[in-house]
């Protein structure tokens, strides 16, 4: 589904990603772990198409298409979803209206008719339950005045509505208490299928107790330095990131 080859990216002339290689297949969950400043958020931003970053080398193929050639909206329309680490507040734009616009633009891209209003409302109702999102939050302005946990739940709610092929969760666990974490993880697990894939980016192992990865990658200094089964995350938690530094001889 996703194939990243030798990806280099920089911001303001400073290289952050220094040759990432990653293969993600449908049905898989990959965790990317790494210390602060290792390039985790840069990777998610580059995949989503943030224009502040410059890709200097390498390629990203998504279902046979050159992802880097696509605009952010076309990436979303092709099925890439980024759950933001810091979702922005957009006063005056209602969550529901915005999602309706999004869903219909995605449908138009695929040559489909706009969704009927009643079908859309039914979809909203169903997905709200999934992440236990208060109906009032769903119809309020996007993230305005939401708590940290509500913002993250809203991300997963949007993901549930848009049904992406590839979801990238960028530190979705940061700032979440254990109850919110359970709800968010539960939502992600329910959305999992053999046709979609998830990349979970996190600093801590705890989230992986709830979203169990098939593969764990350790990102360090702009490169994936180690990959392994889910136990790798536990080892990392136990020994701390210093063990990676020693192992790669940094």
Partner 1 sequence: MEAGLKTMTIKDSLIAEFESSKNSLFGDLKLREQALEAFSKQGIPGRKSEEYKYVNMELALKGDFKFSSSKKLSTQQIESTQFLKEAIIVVIENGIFSSEHSKINSLPKGLQIINIIDATSNVIFQKHYSKYADINSDAFIALNTAFYSGGVFIRVEKNAVIEKPIHIIHIASASENTILNSRNLIVVEENAQVKIVESYETLDLSAKSFNNVLTEIVVEPNAIVDHFKIQNECELGNLMSTTQAVQKGKSVFSTHTFTLSGSLVRNNLNIVLDGEHIESHLNGLYLTNGNQVVDNHTLVDHREPNCNSNELYKGIIEDKSSATFNGKIYVRKDAQKTNAFQSNKNILLSDDGTINTKPQLEIYADDVKCSHGTSTGKLDADKIFYLRARGLSEASAKKLLMHAFASEVLDGIKGMEELHNYLEERISKRFE
Q: Which of 35, 11, 45 is nearest to 248 (CA)?
A: 35
Single out the residue of 8, 30, 40, 77 in contact with partner 1 (rule: CB under 8 A): 77
**Residue 71 CB burial class (10 angstroms; 0-12, 13-18, ≥19):** exposed
When the beta carbons of 91 and 229 are compared against partner 1, the nearer one is 91
Single out the residue of 141, 174, 221, 227 in contact with partner 1 (rule: CB under 8 A): 141
The helices-and-strands tally (H runs, E runs) of the chain is 10, 12
- To partner 1, the closest distance from the beta carbon of 94 in angstroms equals 9
Q: Binding of partner 1 at residue 151 (CB under 8 A)?
A: no
Q: Binding of partner 1 at residue 241 (CB under 8 A)?
A: no
- To partner 1, the closest distance from the beta carbon of 76 in angstroms equals 4
* Piece of 24-32, 34-42, 89-97, 240-248 that binds partner 1 (CB under 8 A): 89-97
Residue 5 CB neighbours (<10 A): 14
- To partner 1, the closest distance from the beta carbon of 246 in angstroms equals 37
Q: Which of residues 43-62 bind partner 1 (CB under 8 A)?
A: 48-51
- Phi, psi of 3, rounded to the nearest 5 degrees: -130, 110
**Residue 111 CB burial class (10 angstroms; 0-12, 13-18, ≥19):** exposed
**String marking each residue 101-130 x if it binds partner 1 according to CB under 8 A:** xxx-xx--x---------------------
User: Is 144 in contact with 13 (CB distance < 8 Å)?
Assistant: no
Q: Binding of partner 1 at residue 76 (CB under 8 A)?
A: yes
**String marking each residue 153-182 x if it binds partner 1 according to CB under 8 A:** -----x---x--------------------
Residue 152 CB neighbours (<10 A): 28
- To partner 1, the closest distance from the beta carbon of 63 in angstroms equals 16
Backbone dihedral region for residue 135 (phi beyond 0: left; psi -120 to 50: alpha; all else: beta): alpha
Single out the residue of 7, 16, 67, 99 in contact with partner 1 (rule: CB under 8 A): 99
Write the DSSP assignment of 212-245 as a string of letters.
Answer: --SEEEEEETTEEEEEE-THHHHHHHHH-THHHH
Single out the residue of 6, 25, 54, 72 in contact with partner 1 (rule: CB under 8 A): 72
Would you give the DSSP letter of residue 249? T
Token pair in block for residue 65:
């298409």
Q: Which residues bind partner 1 (CB under 8 A)?
A: 48-51, 71-73, 75-77, 81-82, 84, 87-88, 90-93, 97-99, 101-103, 105-106, 109, 141-142, 158, 162
């Amino acid at each position: 589904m996703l194939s990243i080859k030798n990806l280099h990216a920089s911001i303001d002339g400073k290289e952050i990603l220094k040759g990432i290689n990653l293969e993600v297949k449908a049905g898989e969950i990959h965790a990317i772990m790494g210390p602060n400043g290792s390039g985790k958020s840069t990777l998610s931003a580059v995949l989503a198409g943030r224009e502040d970053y410059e890709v200097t080398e390498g390629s990203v193929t998504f279902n046979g298409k050159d992802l880097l050639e696509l605009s952010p909206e076309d990436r979303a329309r092709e099925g890439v979803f980024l759950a933001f680490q810091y979702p922005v507040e957009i006063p005056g734009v209602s969550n529901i209206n915005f999602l309706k616009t999004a869903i219909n633009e995605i449908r138009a891209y695929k040559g489909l008719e706009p969704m009927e209003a009643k079908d859309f409302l039914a979809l909203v109702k169903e997905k709200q339950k999934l992440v236990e999102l208060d109906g009032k939050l769903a119809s309020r302005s996007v993230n305005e005045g939401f708590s940290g946990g509500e913002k993250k739940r809203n991300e997963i709610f949007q993901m549930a509505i848009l049904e992406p092929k590839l979801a990238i969760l960028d530190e979705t666990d940061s700032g979440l208490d254990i109850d919110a974490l359970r709800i968010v993880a539960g939502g992600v697990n329910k959305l999992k299928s053999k046709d979609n894939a998830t990349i979970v980016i996190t600093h801590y192992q705890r989230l992986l107790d709830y979203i169990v990865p098939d593969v764990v990658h350790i990102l360090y200094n702009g490169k994936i330095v180690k990959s392994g089964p889910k136990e790798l995350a536990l080892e990392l938690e136990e020994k701390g990131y210093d063990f990676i530094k020693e192992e790669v001889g940094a």
